A and B are shown apart, each in its own frame.
Chain A
């Protein structure tokens, strides 16, 4: 059996984290950069080596490093697993991760906490790679918690800003709710299987065809709870838009390409459980499609460029859930991969725009950037076309796969498909809205005004707008090549990345699904010559929908830019509803946060902590003190009083023994 040293893949970034995290403060910037890039490059190279050897491996390839926890018959090992699904995730995480590390060198170059940033990024890679490589639920949970930690640290990277610190806390706490679900799922697994190993659990399920629903549904639903937290699905999606307070490369790596897809990964990984529970699958599908639609509608009216992308991410994650929910796991994973390409690209390009505008994130203050930052423009165009679903770009292929699988799924598949299709139209609309607002029309930037006046450059005083990359306003400028390089590579991937799963209905072979079949099962609706026509028609329909989304955006934000304001005025209530994100944050604040805070403040803090715990310990302390004070009076310092006590008690003992009250008497 070949030894691939899988443990090295996560451990190298961990070493990078330790070196930079412990010593980085004293290093020169060059050294920090080198350490971080090498620590993220080595796993990528190792994955590349694994890819070359992959054909000759016996799958799933498991490497057990030794026991971790042993309690009676239960054991959890440090063991790593490599199969097709892991390989796909590894490629995405290391590949996109390395590109974003390179980009960050340029983007974060001026930041004070440069070493801290790269230490956290490497830490994230360590946990994410542990998550995807783990062979048992417990080790996976280490990664699962760890990426949440890294996410918290990076969202709150600018911890001096209240908004960033709060966003970090929110992300962490909301994720904890989901993690609770994963924990409960693990407890159920231990109770029913006595094991948390993927191999053992899945083979136990495979050995009992009679097990349907029941406790498997319970486990699946708890896993779904965890997945909704990590993957920002209804009802736990609220943290992701706020997470945009972090630096843009973080948004690209963690909150678009990798960490948020962990929920999709866990569902695909445990598909054996979900396959036995149609009920849980239906819930996944409904959550997915509802989130996709809901987030897309909010995305329509957001003005912060990163928030639009955040809602787009939530929406696209919804598609992945929809794919998993109709048991087309490979379609979900396929969308995960292509989404990692184009959404990382969108964020990085948005970061490049923000960089060009010296920290401006509000799309209302952009516009007309097409000629000024051409490379960013063209790469962003590729990403926008990809996410909107124009053939033959990556997003079209994977989204269509999901929609097609949904369409032919039994039990309300048509309805889910219709909502998914509508969402695709909305997606196309808001992505082109972003595109037009950013790159076309009149320049609305403040720096443009500065340039025209040829006045000295001043820092903007507008405190509402967040200064991100640089504290000073410069003329609009294209980013350096260290940032553009990753953009170009990701743009190429966004264009061609989908071709590895080109559907059979359109003359392809759907190699990607075939490849994943051993790990996540066959597609529920394998392609047949009869279904090719359906596939083709659906592809045409969704292309048409994407095109109409583009057309609507073209009219509203390019041809007749006065139209959006008129629409807003015409439907104020609906606009307010979307603008305020359905008041979900406010509702949560009222029905969840407020009671929790109330309990914390009055029941826990006042009653339990100050009343019971403080009260109890104070009482004990004071009573001991009082007793001591009482007894201390015996020590008067007067020798004759000591002698008196001594004589008195000696006489008393004498008398007692004389009357027979000896120890012997007491012992009876």
Chain B
């Protein structure tokens, strides 16, 4: 039985990579992927906790797993909408560099 700490450390590492990539990368597709990475890091933590809690209580606890399904659904929807937006932005501005997509500036 792998201790929960391993999963959590892995989750934290994945999340941190996601954050770092989100902040550093300029390509909007990469930024998008880093968001997916952060979401999946969180999913991992959910699953780990769900399993841990089932063991502690002695009953099957599926709350965490249900959350994961929600996150997956949202992520899929987000990917669909997000990619559509990216295509639209690319057509309009002919770039995928987030630093140049700053129309909301004051």
Contact = CB atoms under 8 A, between A and B. Distances in A.
A635 B105 contact: yes
Interface string B66-106: 00000000000000000000000000000000110111111
Could you tell me the dominant secondary structure of chain A's interface residues? helix
Given A640-B98, A640-B99, A635 B106 contact: yes
Nearest to A629: B106
A456 interface: no
Contact of B23 (A636, A637, A643): A643
Contacts of B26: 640
Contacts of B23: 640, 643-644, 647
A643 B104 contact: no
B22 to A, nearest CB: 6
A639 interface: yes
B105 A636 contact: yes
B17 interface: no
B47 interface: no
Given A644-B23, A647-B19, A637 B98 contact: no
A632 interface: yes
A28 interface: no
Interface in A618-635: 632, 635
A639 B22 CA distance: 10
B98 A639 contact: yes
In this complex, the interface size class of chain B, counting residues with CB under 8 Å from chain A, is: 10 to 19
A637 B103 CA distance: 6
B98 to A, nearest CB: 5
Contacts of A643: 22-23
A637 B22 contact: no
A483 to B, nearest CB: 75
A463 interface: no
Contacts of B102: 636-639
Nearest to A639: B98
B15 to A, nearest CB: 11
A644 B98 CA distance: 13
A472 to B, nearest CB: 69
A480 to B, nearest CB: 77
Nearest to B24: A640
Interface string B1-28: 0000000000000000001001100100
Interface in A274-315: none
B9 to A, nearest CB: 16
A638 to B, nearest CB: 5
Contacts of B105: 635-638
A455 to B, nearest CB: 79
A491 to B, nearest CB: 84
A44 B42 CA distance: 94
Max count, chain B CB within 10 A of own CB: residue among A632, A636, A639, A647? A639
Contact of A635 (B19, B22, B103, B104): B104
Contacts of B31: 639
B23 to A, nearest CB: 6
Contacts of B99: 638, 640
Contacts of A640: 22-23, 26, 98-99
Contacts of A635: 104-106
Contacts of B103: 637
B101 A632 contact: no
Interface string A638-660: 11100110010000000000000
A635 B102 CA distance: 10
Contacts of A638: 98-99, 102, 105
B36 to A, nearest CB: 15
A310 B98 CA distance: 87
Nearest to B35: A643
Residue of B23, B31, B101 most packed against chain A (CB within 10 A) = B23
Interface in A313-347: none
Interface string A579-603: 0000000000000000000000000
Nearest to A632: B106
Nearest to B103: A637
Most buried by A among B31, B101, B106: B106
Contacts of A647: 19, 22-23
A468 B17 CA distance: 95
B62 to A, nearest CB: 28
A640 B19 CA distance: 11
Nearest to B25: A640
Nearest to B22: A643
A491 B98 CA distance: 99
Nearest to B26: A640
B38 to A, nearest CB: 10
A590 to B, nearest CB: 59
A639 B35 CA distance: 13
B12 to A, nearest CB: 11
B20 to A, nearest CB: 9
Nearest to B104: A637
Contact of B101 (A636, A639, A644): A639
B59 to A, nearest CB: 30
Interface of B: 19, 22-23, 26, 31, 98-99, 101-106
Interface of A: 632, 635-640, 643-644, 647
Given A635-B106, A637-B102, A647-B22, 18 more contacts: A632-B106, A635-B104, A636-B102, A636-B105, A636-B106, A637-B104, A637-B106, A638-B98, A638-B102, A638-B105, A639-B31, A639-B101, A640-B22, A640-B23, A640-B99, A644-B23, A647-B19, A647-B23
Can you list the 4 inter-chain pairs with the closest CB atoms, starting with the nearest?
A637-B105, A637-B102, A637-B104, A639-B98
11 contacts: A635-B104, A636-B105, A637-B103, A637-B105, A637-B106, A638-B105, A639-B31, A639-B98, A639-B101, A640-B22, A643-B23
